[in-house]
Chain A
């Protein structure tokens, strides 16, 4: 790779776009792909040729990135995911089940005082911040679990991740203040969480299959 090719705007932009690929694939082939892109750049002539090269490159990205992700497996990522899921589940159970049942047993005057402070006072503000943070984390985790589920080659692993992801989606719904789900409507939340996942999964899998067919047919 010449210094001119390496330093050009197009080459740097393509180097950034390579981050769309799974890290393992990028580590293995990123440099060679960058080299190939630079070879193509040197071969084109004029602004029209350069524009056509970028159109082909974008098409290549659209077709090959989902396929690369669907082929990738990440056992280390899975372990981290399961640990965070377990921690979040404990927090969720404490927040949603243990604390309410404890509060229902304390004397009525004390419960009213706790309710008042949690609604208006500093405790309430802290609780809102905590809910926002928990909601964001659980939403990101739900998204991560979804990606992990659809990247699994083994159906059993995919199904397990799918179930955990549905649970995370439900937790995200329950913990997000802007998606607040009252405790007495848990069944509706479970139905919602379970219903969203298959739709999202079908859309993603259909896109991946279409992408693989394209990649397998005409690059």
Chain B
């Protein structure tokens, strides 16, 4: 875990799915289904996590210490079964912040090279 977690702390080692899961946990603790719905909503349904993908990513984030499991509870909106809830840790907040900063830098670079404008010009030319 060490090498990848260190890279993740610097904002260069977490995948888009892991980043979206961390984002989903910024506001509140959530259970698996809650995370899945939040990620789908945040990404405009571009990222739809299945159970295997979601819990594989949660296992890695737990291993890195970016999230932790909190006391399980019942979600009355769903059913009466107990569910595991996950919470963002300080390290996870730092990693997500670093990744957000990295992405902001990429967007800034793209704008500085007028990538968006060029894309619009190409689209207009194609029409």
- Give residues in A with beta carbon < 8 Å to B: 1-2, 5, 21, 25, 28-29, 32-37, 39-40, 42, 56-57, 59-61, 63-65, 67-68, 71, 215-219
Within 8 Å CB of A60, what residues of B? 49-53
Across the A-B interface, how many residue pairs have beta carbons closer than 8 Å?
91
User: Are the C-beta atoms of A217 and B52 separated by less than 8 Å?
Assistant: no
B43 to chain A: closest residue by CB = A218
User: Are the C-beta atoms of B56 and A64 separated by less than 8 Å?
Assistant: yes
Q: Is B122 an interface residue (CB 8 A)?
A: no
Q: Which of A34, A59, A67 contacts B56 (CB 8 A)?
A: A67
Main secondary structure, interface of B, reads helix
Interface size on B, residues (CB 8 A): 29
A17 to chain B: closest residue by CB = B52
User: Are the C-beta atoms of A59 and B50 separated by less than 8 Å?
Assistant: yes
User: Are the C-beta atoms of B81 and A1 separated by less than 8 Å?
Assistant: yes
A sample of 19 more A-B contacts (CB under 8 A), given A2-B80, A63-B53, A218-B46, is A1-B81, A2-B79, A5-B79, A21-B52, A25-B56, A28-B59, A29-B58, A32-B32, A32-B51, A33-B32, A35-B83, A39-B78, A56-B50, A60-B49, A64-B53, A65-B52, A218-B48, A219-B17, A219-B57
User: Are the C-beta atoms of A32 and B55 separated by less than 8 Å?
Assistant: yes
User: Are the C-beta atoms of A35 and B56 separated by less than 8 Å?
Assistant: no
Whole-angstrom CA separation of A106 from B51 in the bound complex: 66
User: Are the C-beta atoms of B53 and A35 separated by less than 8 Å?
Assistant: no
Within 8 Å CB of A218, what residues of B? 16-17, 46-48
Considering only residues 77-127 of chain B, those with a C-beta below 8 Å from chain A are 78-81, 83-84
Within 8 Å CB of B84, what residues of A? 32
Whole-angstrom CA separation of A217 from B48 in the bound complex: 11
- B32, B46, B50, B59, most chain A CB atoms within 10 A: B50
Whole-angstrom CA separation of A65 from B50 in the bound complex: 12
For the complex formed, measure the closest distance between the CB of B82 and the CB atoms of chain A, giving whole angstroms. Answer: 9
Q: List 11 A-B contacts (CB under 8 A).
A: A25-B59, A29-B55, A29-B58, A32-B83, A36-B51, A36-B54, A39-B33, A61-B52, A215-B57, A217-B15, A219-B50
Q: Which of B16, B33, B53, B56 contacts A71 (CB 8 A)?
A: B56
Within 8 Å CB of A35, what residues of B? 32-33, 81, 83
Whole-angstrom CA separation of A33 from B51 in the bound complex: 5
Q: Is B36 an interface residue (CB 8 A)?
A: yes
B14 to chain A: closest residue by CB = A216
A2 to chain B: closest residue by CB = B79
B75 to chain A: closest residue by CB = A39
Q: Which of B16, B50, B81 contacts A217 (CB 8 A)?
A: B16
